[in-house]
Structure 1
Amino acid sequence: MDSVASLAEPAFPGDDGSADAALTAALTAYDTSGDLGPVLVALGSARVLVPVVAVLGEHATPGTDKEADMATVMLTGADGRKALLAFSSVETLGAWRPEARPVPVWAREAARAALAEGATALLLDLAGPVRAVVETEDLQHLADGDDLVGVGATWAWSKRS
């Protein structure tokens, strides 16, 4: 009897943790212009890193071994809205918290996860060098897999068929 274990192919073979070139260019342009459109276009096909950190387990008691759980990181603003953190590269994640474990996902998947957790935003590169926030309708469109397209001097979401 032949028994061969097989693992699923990784979603990002050869990924070295560097930022996507198109996303980096879009973030640089956003820093200058304030136009989030190119960032949203780049996120449509970009890999981001969602940080996972260890948190003390609920059942730890003095004198016993501590239990740790792994969790994604959500920030809650003063107004009560939540945002899921994501990073463009290992470098930008490390600038925020070097001990966080990077989990590579498509930005669209990160947007879906944010919405599933009750967040209203995806916060990209919290520690910079350029921070961007994808929220409300833009977050929903990104999660739905829609494409942002330029229409004259403005932007419009187009449903992917």
Structure 2
Amino acid sequence: MPSIPQPLDPDDDGGVAPAVAAALDDYQRGAAGPDRVLNALTGARLLVPVVALLTESEVGEHGLRQEKESEMALPKLVGKDGRQAVLAFTGTEALIRWRPDARPIQASTLQVCRAAVGEEAAAVVVDVAGPVTFVIEGDVLRALAAVESGTLEQLPGVTVARVEPVARRRWFRRRTN
């Protein structure tokens, strides 16, 4: 049974990171492209929703149906074409706008992308209920997931360069007469 991870930041107030808010606002106004939003999101905390799903109910002594067992689940968005997307939110306000009963789990954007690829989802939809919706999909989604998992070298067409410090060399000598 999966466990709920420890929070990234126990003092998180659920607000949107200022850099993310600015990038999304500029993106919505057409003043910035998706690359600016991705740069802001890459280092940001997102909130992944979990919701309770009724797995078993029973009829109580007064004839009313009541919950007997439930499980926490990660909801997915399913498009008209059948593709699935993992949902993530920049803050609690956007999460509540989508579904007030959902509970937030903190995760980095890279972790969310890795989870989406692991769930065979086609995309991550950020702030599905607004104020600005942003979608991470395709090669970008797979690349961000690979960064998180350390498997970037395995993506086709990707070359990873490592820069390592070298011993300092003198390129010239001083002449003494």
* Contact 1:109 1:143 (8 Å CA) reproduced: yes
Count of residue pairs the alignment pairs up: 142
* Contact 1:44 1:145 (8 Å CA) reproduced: no
Does residue 36 in structure 1 map to residue 34 in structure 2?
yes
Shift of 1:15: 0.7
* Contact 2:57 2:69 (8 Å CA) reproduced: no
Distance 1:159 1:87, change over 3 A: farther
More displaced 10-residue stretch of structure 1: 23-32 or 137-146: 137-146
Alignment of 1:98-137 (within 5 A): 98-137=100-139
Task: Kindly provide the CA deviation profile for residues 50-95 of structure 1, in whole angstroms up to 9, marking residues without a partner as x.
Answer: 00000111xx254375211001110110111110000000011011
Alignment of 1:39-54 (within 5 A): 39-54=37-52
Give the AA of the match of 2:18.
Answer: A
Structure 2: 5+ residue runs without aligned partners?
61-66, 149-157, 163-177
Higher relative contact order (Cα pairs below 8 Å, separated by 6+ residues): 1
* Contact 2:87 2:128 (8 Å CA) reproduced: yes
Q: Hey, what does 1:154 align to over in structure 2?
A: none
Alignment of 1:76-115 (within 5 A): 76-115=78-117
Which secondary structure does the structure 1 equivalent of 2:85 belong to?
A: strand
* Contact 1:125 1:132 (8 Å CA) reproduced: yes
Task: Kindly provide the CA deviation profile for residues 97-133 of structure 1, in whole angstroms up to 9, marking residues without a partner as x.
Answer: 1110000100100001111111010000011010011
Which structure has the bigger radius of gyration? 2
Structure 1: 5+ residue runs without aligned partners?
1-7, 147-156
Shift of 1:14: 1.4
Task: Kindly provide the CA deviation profile for residues 1-42 of structure 1, in whole angstroms up to 9, marking residues without a partner as x.
Answer: xxxxxxx97421311100111111111111112721111111
The whole-number CA distance in structure 2 between the counterparts of 1:77 and 1:87 is: 18
Distance 1:40 1:139, change over 3 A: same
Q: Hey, what does 1:19 align to over in structure 2?
A: 16
Which secondary structure does the structure 2 equivalent of 1:69 belong to?
A: strand
Distance 1:46 1:83, change over 3 A: same
4+ aligned runs moved over 6 Å, structure 1: none
* Contact 2:125 2:134 (8 Å CA) reproduced: yes
Which secondary structure does the structure 1 equivalent of 2:48 belong to?
A: strand
Give the AA of the match of 1:44.
Answer: T
TM-score (norm 1): 0.80
